[in-house]
Amino acid sequence: MGPRGVHVAAVVLCALGGPVLAGCDSAGTGVPESAGPTRPAVGPVRLWPDLPPATNPPIDYGESDIQRVPGIRVAGGDVRSVDAVEVVRAEVRARPDARSGADGLYEETARAVGACVSEPASCPVMRPYYRDLTGDGRDELIVGIRMPEQQVAVRVYRAERGGLTRIMSTVDQVISVELAGRDLIMRVGSAGIPGYEYRTAWSWDERQGSMLPTRDEIVRVGPSGGRTPAGRPPGPGPSGSGSSGSGPSAPGPSGSEPSGPEPSGTAGSSGVGPSPVPPPEGTP
């Protein structure tokens, strides 16, 4: 192709590309124009590089959440075969005085769990949900437990070796709990920062063998309901302890992004206080 052909091709290309081709001049001559100088890339700068390394290795994050549920057998490795209320009752029986940590429940909540069989209408264990959160092709069991002051304990269980293992436990003043893909996302109110809420996405970590808060942010809630992400302020980690599963009154992070998990119609009262994941469209 001669010089004239190149010139014609450039004009046609610019005409087709329009504003996408920033190198084409506005006069349509086909002569490339500079878009201006590009700012040089600035890499991260390490502050205080002479700080000594930590003398004590950190505790594995999430290890306190991993707990074998005593006395619960899972037929065929299917978590749908177990009763969510009985799972929570088994944990309360094993640690009846736990008021903090991954097993922590308010005393009145623990009593109500113990009375779920005789007083099902006041049972604080909400409807269970199921989702493959670990990516192994099998569903996990997701349980919510209502407590005073809009506190909700969220626990996730995995079937393994014929039994049930808890792989997540956290307590927060919950606005909503949702599922998006293999993430469990929590949104909670921010009592200390009016006009904001916390959003945290919990994801399966193969190395830890538990669900970890992999994405954590504070979100501004506008008057029209819009949310603007912002950096999470310095402070303790999820549930106020640097690890999930703090006491019932501990503040913590949150989450969003709607999804439609599959509900179960089994045990546990629901419809009072904060709801777990909303049922899919068309589900009663």
DSSP string, 176-193: EEEEETTEEEEEEE-SSS
What integer pLDDT is reported at residue 191 of this predicted model? 76
pLDDT greater than 60 at residue 9:
no
What integer pLDDT is reported at residue 79 of this predicted model? 97
What integer pLDDT is reported at residue 41 of this predicted model? 81
pLDDT greater than 80 at residue 146:
yes
Q: Percent of the chain beyond pLDDT 90?
A: 48
DSSP letter for 32, please: B
Centroid of chain to Cα 2: 61
Mean pLDDT of 151-164: 95
Residue 151 pairs with which residues in a beta bridge? Answer: 173
DSSP letter for 24, please: B
The model's pTM? 0.65
pLDDT greater than 80 at residue 74:
yes
